[in-house]
């Protein structure tokens, strides 16, 4: 499946970007990168610490640099952080360098998937459900505007989502391939 372009996963926290990204990369026999994990590795600190020390703007500056670097690689699978689409420069870089897949999920599903995760700085800012609803209202239009494909992850196993991404990405890459 070498003919497929770089695949970039966007979506909210708890959508399954990292899990699906790893499975997708394994299926396609490609390298997998998670921009948040790469930032943590480079800084030697977790995202929550970076937010505490540098604020959200400092983190977003680091994220922009990391996205430029990673999106410039050939034929990879890249999972981005939930806020990667907030900056127009990021949205443009992602669109130019690969097929962007929006992993869409409900706020209810996000709550279930992130309930016990203490490494989500934005969820420490009040009522987590309201924070997720506010983030969804602000970011969903940006995810949709950036993405080439939207794939729902609610009530679906990761393998089913991976298979749909591969099938639909093939169709985008070669619309005349009737098997895709």
Over 126-139, what HEC string results? CCHHHHHHHHHHHH
Q: What is the assigned CATH class of domain 7-168?
A: alpha beta
Helix (H, G, I), strand (E, B) or coil at 32: strand
Name the binding residues: 14-19, 36, 60, 82, 120, 139, 156
Give the integer Cα–Cα distance in Å for 39 and 55.
Answer: 15
Name the binding residues for Mg(2+): 18
- 56, two tokens: 């959200």
Domain ranges within the chain, ordered by starting residue: 7-168
Please tell me what DSSP assigns to residue 115: T
**Could you read off the pLDDT of 120-162 as tens digits, one per residue?**
655 566 777 888 899 999 999 999 999 999 999 998 999 999 9
pTM above 0.85, yes or no: yes
pLDDT tens for the chain, 180 residues: list them. 456 789 999 999 889 999 999 999 999 999 999 999 999 999 999 988 998 899 989 999 999 999 999 988 999 999 999 999 999 999 999 999 999 999 999 998 888 877 666 666 555 667 778 888 999 999 999 999 999 999 999 989 999 999 999 999 998 877 666 565
- 11, two tokens: 């979506």
What residues are paired with 150 via a beta bridge? Answer: 102
Name the binding residues for substrate: 36, 60, 82, 139
């Amino acid at each position: 499946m070498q003919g497929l372009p770089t695949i970039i996963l966007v979506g909210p926290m708890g959508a399954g970007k990292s899990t699906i990204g790893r499975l997708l990369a394994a299926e396609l026999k490609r390298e997998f990168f998670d921009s948040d994990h790469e930032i943590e590795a480079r800084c030697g600190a977790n995202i929550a610490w970076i937010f505490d020390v540098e604020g959200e703007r400092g983190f977003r500056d680091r994220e922009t640099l990391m996205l430029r670097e990673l999106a410039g690689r050939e034929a990879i699978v890249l999972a981005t952080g939930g806020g990667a689409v907030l900056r127009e420069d990021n949205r443009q870089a992602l669109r130019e360098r690969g097929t962007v897949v929006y992993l869409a999920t409900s706020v209810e599903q996000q709550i279930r998937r992130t309930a016990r995760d203490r490494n989500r700085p934005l969820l420490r800012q009040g009522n987590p459900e309201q924070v997720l609803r506010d983030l969804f209202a602000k970011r969903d239009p940006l995810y949709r505007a950036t993405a080439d494909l939207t794939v729902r992850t609610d009530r679906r196993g990761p393998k089913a989502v991976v298979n749909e991404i591969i099938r639909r990405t093939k169709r985008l890459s070669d619309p005349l391939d009737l098997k895709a």
